[in-house]
Amino acid sequence: MQTVGSAGWKSISHAVAAKRQLKCPKCGGRELRIRERSIAYSVFEQDKNGAIPFEGHHGHDRVLGLDARCRGCDHSWKPRGVMQITDLEGYAGEPQSPYKGPSR
Gap between the Cα atoms of 104 and 96, Å rounded = 20
- Sole window of 21-29, 30-38, 57-65, 86-94 interacting with Zn ion (rule: CB under 5 A): 21-29
Site for Zn ion, residues 31 to 70, rule: CB under 5 A: 70
Which residue among 22, 24, 82, 88 contacts Zn ion (CB under 5 A)? 24
Gap between the Cα atoms of 33 and 74, Å rounded = 10
Which residue among 18, 37, 72, 77 contacts Zn ion (CB under 5 A)? 72
Q: Where are the alpha helices (DSSP H) in the chain?
A: none
* Residue 20 contacts Zn ion per CB under 5 A: no
* Residue 75 contacts Zn ion per CB under 5 A: yes
- Across the beta sheet with 32-43, what order do the strands follow? 32-43, 57-70, 76-77
Nearer to Zn ion, 24 or 82 (CB): 24
**Under the rule (CB under 5 A), what is the footprint of Zn ion?**
24, 26-27, 29, 70, 72-73, 75
